[in-house]
Amino acid sequence: MNRTRCLPRAIFLLALAAGLLGRAGSAWGSAFNVKPTQLVLSGKAGSALLTVRNESAEPLRFQLSAFAWDQNSAGQMALAATSEVVFFPSLLSLAPGEARNIRIGVTVPPGSVEKTYRLFVEELPSLVKPGAAAGHQIKVLTRMSIPIFLVPPAAAAGARIEPGTLRYDKLAFAVKNTGNVHLQVRNARVRGVGPANESLFERTVPGWYVLAGGSRVFQVATPRNVCARTRRLMFEVDTEGSTLKSQLDTRTGICGP
């Protein structure tokens, strides 16, 4: 399941349920899956099938919606309404154990830079009200987000690490996507090295997508007790296909003001 710019609906409802458990009884959610977890389209394959399967013991209802997907300067998701993605059906009901294929396509040809979208599969409230035997239960409704990539005819991958700024006990650095297709960062690491080439600290943060031409900023906390002795910062970023490396000399240490 993927995250959007704001607090995902499922997490919000789960938090709400947790706050009400003392007087509401219990919280529960449905079980369903969506395959594949991402769609890659091209000029030769302009459509694909998405399968939604109900793995719960009750009927489920779903609503589908699509958005153009971009990123802001910090690499956070930005969504906008679009008519470039078409799909059928947009509403569906599934009996327990039932699966349904949804045809997904685009109305525009590939460009010189990869186009990116997000398809949301959102569970809707049941039309049947729970009986008295169910008690005071809160159902957690789930929304899944599926990335859609419309790749260009000539795909070219490329990326670099851009060491960023030091602010007090925070270190920021960015991964810049210099290619025309998306990059998926698995994780990013920074290591502080001392005067004798000894390792003073290491921090690892999880990664995410970096869209074509975009960048994603990573921020880690740096320990104060070794900041004056830190002479180099070593950066490593693991992607799907390679590991990027860079370093930054910090001869006066990395202590903030």
Does any domain span residue 65?
yes
Q: Which domain holds residue 224?
A: 159-249
CATH number, domain containing residue 89: 2.60.40.10
Are residues 170 and 139 part of one domain? no
Does any domain span residue 256?
no
Q: Of the candidates 150, 175, 200, which is a domain's last residue?
A: 150
Are residues 126 and 27 part of one domain? yes
Are residues 116 and 52 part of one domain? yes
pLDDT score, position 22: 38
H or E element that contains 176: strand 170-177
* Cβ atoms of residues 119 and 106 within 8 Å: no
Does any domain span residue 196?
yes
Q: Of the candidates 106, 129, 150, which is a domain's last residue?
A: 150
Does any domain span residue 140?
yes
Does any domain span residue 254?
no
Are residues 181 and 224 part of one domain? yes
Are residues 173 and 141 part of one domain? no
Are residues 173 and 144 part of one domain? no
Are residues 128 and 27 part of one domain? yes
Are residues 213 and 108 part of one domain? no
Reading the block at residue 252, the tokens are: 């006066």
Torsion of CA 4, 9, 13, 19, to 10 degrees: 30
Average pLDDT for the chain: 85
Q: Of the candidates 116, 150, 184, which is a domain's last residue?
A: 150
Give dist(CA 193, CA 197) in Å, integer. Answer: 6
Q: What residues in the chain have per-residue pLDDT under 70? A: 1-30, 129-138, 165-168, 256-257
pLDDT in tens, 159-189: 999 987 666 578 889 999 999 999 999 999 9
Does any domain span residue 255?
no
pLDDT score, position 14: 35
pLDDT score, position 182: 97
pTM: 0.81
Reading the block at residue 200, the tokens are: 């003073």
Are residues 79 and 33 part of one domain? yes
Give the 3-state secondary structure of residue 22: helix
Beta bridge partners of 232: 193, 249
pLDDT score, position 130: 59
Are residues 49 and 69 part of one domain? yes
Q: Give the number of domains in the chain.
A: 2
pLDDT score, position 170: 82
Are residues 201 and 117 part of one domain? no
Are residues 104 and 23 part of one domain? yes
Reading the block at residue 228, the tokens are: 């004056």
Question: Nearest to residue 255, comparing CAs of 163, 170, 162, 164?
Answer: 170
